[in-house]
Structure 1
Amino acid sequence: MRLWQDARTLFVDIQADDAEPGAIVARQMRRDVEGMLAEDQVTLVIDAEGAGRNGYLFAVNAHGAQFDALIYDGGLMRHDWDAQWTSEARIGADGWRARLAIPLSVFGRGDSATWRINAERWMPRGSERVRLAGARPDKTVYSLGDAIAIPALRSGRDGGGLRIKPSLRVSHESSAASGSGKPEQRIEPGLELFHESHGGLRTTAALNIDFGEAEADERTVNLTRFELFRPEKREFFLRDAGRFSFGGLVEAAVIPYYSRRIGLDAGGRARALDAGLKLTGSAAGLEFGAFAARVAGGATEPGLPDQPSADVAVLRLAKPLDARQRVGLLATRGNPQGTAGSRLWGVDYQFRDTTWSGGRTLEAHGWAMQSTNADAAAGADVTGRAWGGSLAYLNTGPMASAEFQRIGAGFDPALGYLAEANVLRGQGTAGWWHRTRDGASVIPAVDWSYRRTLDGAERTRVLNPEVAYTNAAGDTVMAEVFFEADRLASGYAPVPGTWLAPGSYRWQYLYGLLETSPSRPLWVSAELRAGGYYDGRRNDQFVTLGWKPDSRWEARVGMGRNAITLPTGRFTVKLATLRLDHAPDTRLAQSVLLQWDNVSQALGVSARLRWTDWLGAPGRELVFALDRLGYTGDRREPLPRQTRATLKLVWNLER
C-alpha cells in the first residue's frame, strides 16, 4: 500500500497479490454493506488528530465497492457515516489492484504534526488477516491506540476550505401522509455549507433540509413495555457524531443526546430542518462539539393541533488528561416537541488502555447527569438525576464486563433516549475467549442482568449461560439457556388478546442462533426460542435467507413468528420482509424493501435509488425515495393508504 498526495487529495494505491485470482471473493458493488468486510478487502484507518481518540475508516473490495465509518472514543465505530471519496479496483492475473482518492478536506485542517494510521487486508477463503499494527485476534483495526505515527499530510490548496452543497427537492405526500387531510406537493431548495479552518474548526450549516430519503427502519413488533431503540440514519446528524458521544452509552437504556428526537414528531413523522448549525473541532487541547437547530412545525394528524417549531441545542466538551484518560461535559437545551423549559447537563470520565497487561484492552466509563423540565400542569420545574458506570475487559482468555445505572424518578432527557426512569439496573458478562489454531473462536460465558424500580415495586432478574462458536470464515453457532424472574407492579398486554396481570413470575427457555458468513453467495441467519414466558409459553422462529447470484444483484427474504400462549389468551405475531438490491456499478444503487406484520396489518413498500456522479458529472448526486403504506386484513374502518415520494438533486461544489 502506498500513500501519496497532491494539493487537494490523498491517494492510496493498493497492490493485493494473489496466486489464485479466480478464487478472490468479491460479491458487493453497493456502498456501506457490512457484508463487504467479510470479502477480500483492504481497510485503511486514519487518525488525523494523532491523539488516538477520533478517526476515519475507509475500506475497498476487489470490485472497488466502498465502506467508510467514523471512529470515536478510541475504538468505537459508526458505519452510518459517509464521506465524499472515490475508489476503483480491478482483478488481474496476479491478484487485484485498487486506488482510493480521498479529499484532504475530510480530515480537517488541524495543526497536528502527526497522524496515526493502521491498515489490514482480509482474505476470507484462507481466513487470513494481515495488519500493519496491533495484530491480535481480540483487537480491531480501528483500535486507534495501536495505530502507528506518520508525519501529518497537509493540503496545498489556496482556497478557503469551503464546500457548498445546494440541493433541489421535489416531494409529494398523499392526504393520509401529510397530516393536513389533503395531498401536498412541494418544490423546495436546500443548502448545506461545510467549512474547514486552518485551526481545525469544522463548521456545518444547513437550511431547509429534509430527511425523506433516509433508509427505512426495519420493522419490529415490540413485545416489551419500553420504547425500542432505533439507530440514526440521517446523514446530517451522522457527520462528526462521535464528537457528541457520552459516557460510553451506545444503544443503551439511557442516552442524553439522541438525534432521532430532532426532526420527528410524536407520531414518528419526519420534519424538515429549517436551519441548523454545527461546530466541531479541537482547540488548546479541548475537543468540542456544538449543535443548534430550528425544526419546522406543521400538521400532525387531522383534527389535532399543529406542532410548533422547536429550537434545540447541544454542547459537548472533552479534555484528554493523557493518552488513556478523558473527562467531559455535555449540555442540552430545548424540547423537540416545541415546548419550553427543558435542559440537561452531565459529566463523564473515560479510561481506555490498549496496552494493558501485554497488549490487552481495558476500558472504563463513569457519568452523572441532571435534567430539568417544565411541568405546565404543576406550574413548576421537575428535576431528576442519573448516574452510572461500566468496566470492560474483553480480550482472549478470561473476559468480563459490567455496567450499572441509577435513573431517578424525575429524570427525563428531552433530547435523549430513556427506556424508563425510577430504576436501578445492571448487566454484564463473564467468560473465556478461546482461539483455536485455525482461527476459530469458542466462548463459553454467563450473561446476567438486573433491574429494580427505586420504590421496590418491580424487580427483574435474568441469568443466561451460553456458548458460542465462530469459525475462521465467520460462520457462527450459539446456544443459550435463560432463567428469568419478573415482578410486575401493573399489568400489560404484550400482544393483542392477551394480558399479564400484576404479580411475580419465574420461567426458563432455550435460545439458539445459526449464522453463515455473508461472504458466501448463499447465506442464512436463523433464531429459535422455546420455553416459558411468564405464566405461559412463547416459541419464536426467525429465518433470513440471502442470495447473491453475482456482484450486481442481491435478494433477501425474512420470515418470523412469535407464538405466545397465556392463560388469558393466545396470539401469534407474524413478520415478513423481502428486499431486492441492484448495483450495476459502484456509483448506482437501487433497492426495494417490502415489510408486513399481522399486528398493524400494514404492508410497507420502500424504494430507494442513489446515483452519484450522475450523467458523468463528478460531485452531482440524484436520490429518489418512495414510501407507501397500505393495510391488509379485515378492518371495520379501513385505514387510508399513505404515500410519500421525494426526488432530490444534489451538487457538491468545493473551493
Structure 2
Amino acid sequence: MRLGHDDRNLYVRFKAYDDEPGSIVAQQMRRDVEAMLAEDVLAIAIDPEGDARNGYLFVVNPNGAQFDALIFDGGQIRFDWDAQWISNARIEADGWQAELSIPLAALASQPAGESRRHWRINAERWMPRGSERVRLAGVQPDKDVHSLGDALRIPAIEAESTAQNLRLKPALRWVGESAAASGTGRDRQRLEPSLEVFHQAQSGLRSALALNIDFAEAEADERQVNLTRFELFRPEKREFFLRDAGRFTFGGLIESTVIPYYSRRVGLDANGRGRSLDAGLKVSGQLGGWDVGAFASRVAGGPTEPGSPNQRAAEVAVVRLARPQGEHGRLGLLATTGNPAGTSSSSLVGLDYQHRDTQWQGDKTLEAHAWAMHSRNEGQGDDSAWGGSILLPNVGLNLRAEVQRIGTNFNPALGYLAESGIVRSIGESAWWHRTVEGADIMPGLDWQYRRKLDGSETSWQLNPEIAYFTPAGEGGLVEWFVEADTLASGYAPVPKLWIPPGSYRWHYLFGTLQSATSRPMYFTAEWRFGGYYDGKRNDQSARIDWKPTPSWGAQLGLARNELVLPDASFTAWTSSFRIDYTPSTRLGQSLLVQWDNVTHQLGFSARLRWQWSPGKEAIVALDRLGYTGERNAGQIGQTVGMLKLVWNFEP
C-alpha cells in the first residue's frame, strides 16, 4: 500500500499479489452492497482526528466497485454513509491492484497544527478463496479493521491550500405526482431548484447548508409486517442526514427502544412518506477539544399522506457536544428543541459518558455507556429516562448487557421511542470459540425483561442458543425461546385477530441458516414454530440472491407468518423481488417490487443513477403504490416520478 496526496486528494494504491488470479472473487459492480465485503476486497480505515473516535472506511473490489462507511464511537459503523470518491481496479497476471482518490474535504482534513500531530490508519485484504485476512494492525478475530484504537499512527496530512474548503452542489429536479400522492386531489407537476453548500473552516469545523431539498431518490424501505405493539425502527437513508451522523450518536443508543435524536422524524412519517426540507444547516467537527455537532432545519408544511390534514411547517434543532476524559473516556451533552409534526413545543436535554478501551487486559475490548435524559412537551409535561450498557465483544467471554428506565411522560419528540413508562433490561452472553481452521462456535444465553412502572404489565424472555459459522460465513443458529407476557389491554397483531388482556406464557424454536455471500448464488433462511400467547405461530422466510455476472443481479424474498389463536387465525405473506443492472461503477439501475396481504399494498420502486462525469450525475426515480384485494376506505393508488440533475463545484 502506498499513500500520497496533493492539495485536494488523498491517493491510495494497493497491489494484491495472487498466484491464481483466475480464482479471484469479484461479483459486484453496484455500490454499497454488503455482499461485496465477502469477496476479494481491499479496505482502508482513516481517522484524520487521531483520537480513535471518528473515522471513515473505504473498500474496493477488483471491479472497482465501492463500499464506504462512517466510523464513530471508536469502532461502531454506519454502512449507509456515502462520500464522493474515485476508485479504479483491475485483475492482472500476478494478482490485482486498486487505486483510490479520496477528497481531503471528505475526510475533514485541515492544517495539522499543534492539535493534529497525527492521523490513524489501518488497512486489510480479505481473500475468500482461503478465508484469509491480512491486516496492517490489530489482526485478531474479535476486532475489525475499523477498530480505531488499534490503528497505526502516521504524520497528519496537511492540506497545502484552502481550495477544498468550499463545495457547491446545485440541483434541478422535476417531480410529477398523481392526485392521491400529491394530497391535493389533483395531479401535480413541479420544477424546483435546490442547493447544498459544504464548507470547512480552518478550525476544522464543517458546515452544510441545504435549501429546498427533497429525498425522492432515497430507496424504499424494506416491507415488514409488524406483529408487535410498538413502532418498527427503520434506518435513515437520506444522504443529507447521513453525513457526520456519528457526531450525533448518544449513549450507545443506535438501534434501541429509545433514541433522543432520530433523523427520520424530520420530514418523514412512520410510513416513510414526507415533505421537502425548506432549509437545513448542519455544523460538525472539533473545536477547542470538543466534538461538535449541530443541526437546525425548517420542514415544509402540507399533508404527509392522502386524506390527512395539513401539518404546519416545523422548526427543529439539535446540538451535540462531547469531550474526551482521559485516554478512554468521553463525556457528552445533547439537546433538542422543536416537534417535527409542527403541533407543539418540545425540548430534551441529555448527558452521557462513554468508556472504550481496546487494550483492556492486554488485547481485549471493553466498552461501557451511561446516560440520562429529561424531556419537556407542551400538554404532556416533564419526565426523565436513564440507562447504561456494557459490551465485551471478545473471543472467549462475549457479553452485551443493557438496562433502561423510561418515565411515563418521557417523550423525545425529535427522537425514537418504542414505549414509555417502563423498566427494561436486555442482554446477550456467549462463549466465543475460534477453531484452528477459523470457524466460530458460540453457545450462549440471551434475555429480555420489561415491566411497566405502574405494575400493570410484565414480560420476560430467555433463549439459550448455539451458533456455528465457517470462516467464509456459512452456518446457522438455533435458539429455544421461553416467553411470558402480561397484557393490561389487548391488541391486534394483524387485522381481524385479537389478543385479549391477560397473562400468557409460551415457548418456541427458532433457527436460521445461510450460505456464503461470496458465491454467485447464496441464500438466507429462517424458521420458527411453537407457541404464541394462547395459540401458535409458525414462520418461514427465505431470500435468494443471484449474481450471474458482475453487471446483473437478482434477489427474491418470501416470508410467511401463520398465527393461530383460539377464536381466529391469519397467515401474513410478504414478498419482494429486486433486479439490478450495473453495467459500470458509474451507472446503476434497479427495480424493487414488494407486496403483503396485511396492508394489501403492491409497491414498485425503480431507480437509475448515472454519473456521466466526476461530480455530475442524473437520478431518475419512479414509485408506484397500488392495492390488491381488500383495502381500507381512502386507500388509492399513488404514483410519483422524479428526474434530478446534480452538479458539484469546488471554486
TM-score range, shorter chain: over 0.9
Summarize the Cα distance change of 1:98–1:301 in structure 2 as closer, same or farther, 3 Å threshold: closer
Deviation track 1:575-634 (CA, whole Å, cap 9, x = no partner) reads 11000011101111111000000111111000011112x1xx321011111110111114
1:378 is aligned to none
1:336 is aligned to 340
Among 622, 632, 648, which residue is 2:618 paired with?
622
TM-score calculated relative to the size of structure 1? 0.97
CA distance in 2, matches of 1:618, 1:578: 31
Contact 2:214 2:277 in 1 (8 A): yes
2:430 is aligned to 431
Query: How do 1:127-526 residues align onto structure 2 when only pairs under 5 Å count?
Result: 127-159=131-163, 161-265=165-269, 268-301=272-305, 304-375=308-379, 382-526=381-525
1:42 is aligned to 42
Contact 2:626 2:638 in 1 (8 A): yes
Say which SS state the counterpart of residue 36 (structure 1) adopts: helix
* Alpha-carbon RMSD: 1.2
Q: How far off its partner does 1:531 sit?
A: 0.3
Contact 1:109 1:199 in 2 (8 A): no
Summarize the Cα distance change of 1:138–1:160 in structure 2 as closer, same or farther, 3 Å threshold: closer
CA distance in 2, matches of 1:113, 1:245: 26
Say which SS state the counterpart of residue 524 (structure 1) adopts: strand
Q: How far off its partner does 1:304 sit?
A: 4.5
CA distance in 1, matches of 2:262, 2:221: 16
Summarize the Cα distance change of 1:284–1:556 in structure 2 as closer, same or farther, 3 Å threshold: same
Summarize the Cα distance change of 1:97–1:266 in structure 2 as closer, same or farther, 3 Å threshold: closer
What amino acid sits opposite 1:239 in the alignment? R
1:91 is aligned to 91
What amino acid sits opposite 1:508 in the alignment? H
The runs of 5 or more residues in structure 1 that have no matched partner are 376-380
1:4 is aligned to 4
Summarize the Cα distance change of 1:301–1:88 in structure 2 as closer, same or farther, 3 Å threshold: closer
Deviation track 1:514-560 (CA, whole Å, cap 9, x = no partner) reads 01121110101000000000100000000111110011111110111
CA distance in 2, matches of 1:231, 1:305: 26
CA distance in 2, matches of 1:284, 1:424: 38
Among 94, 112, 122, which residue is 1:118 paired with?
122
Contact 2:48 2:109 in 1 (8 A): no
What amino acid sits opposite 2:216 in the alignment? G
Query: How do 1:5-20 residues align onto structure 2 when only pairs under 5 Å count?
Result: 5-20=5-20
What amino acid sits opposite 1:125 in the alignment? R
> Could you tell me the percent identity over the aligned residues?
61
CA distance in 2, matches of 1:304, 1:289: 34
Summarize the Cα distance change of 1:245–1:441 in structure 2 as closer, same or farther, 3 Å threshold: same
What amino acid sits opposite 1:57 in the alignment? L
Summarize the Cα distance change of 1:270–1:634 in structure 2 as closer, same or farther, 3 Å threshold: closer
1:632 is aligned to 628
Q: How far off its partner does 1:265 sit?
A: 4.2
What amino acid sits opposite 2:244 in the alignment? D
1:67 aligns with 2:67: yes
Summarize the Cα distance change of 1:492–1:12 in structure 2 as closer, same or farther, 3 Å threshold: same
Deviates more, 1:273-282 or 1:106-115: 106-115
Summarize the Cα distance change of 1:268–1:98 in structure 2 as closer, same or farther, 3 Å threshold: closer
Summarize the Cα distance change of 1:96–1:640 in structure 2 as closer, same or farther, 3 Å threshold: same
Q: How far off its partner does 1:475 sit?
A: 0.8
Contact 1:607 1:627 in 2 (8 A): yes
Deviation track 1:119-138 (CA, whole Å, cap 9, x = no partner) reads 00000010000000000000
What amino acid sits opposite 2:55 in the alignment? G
What amino acid sits opposite 1:43 in the alignment? A
CA distance in 2, matches of 1:249, 1:205: 27
Summarize the Cα distance change of 1:278–1:385 in structure 2 as closer, same or farther, 3 Å threshold: same
What amino acid sits opposite 2:519 in the alignment? R
Say which SS state the counterpart of residue 281 (structure 1) adopts: strand
Contact 2:307 2:634 in 1 (8 A): no
Alignment size in residue pairs:
647
What amino acid sits opposite 1:127 in the alignment? S
Contact 1:332 1:343 in 2 (8 A): yes
1:557 aligns with 2:561: no
Deviates more, 1:229-238 or 1:150-159: 150-159
Contact 2:274 2:304 in 1 (8 A): no
Q: How far off its partner does 1:5 sit?
A: 1.1
What amino acid sits opposite 2:586 in the alignment? R
The runs of 5 or more residues in structure 2 that have no matched partner are none
CA distance in 1, matches of 2:359, 2:349: 33
Q: How far off its partner does 1:298 sit?
A: 1.3
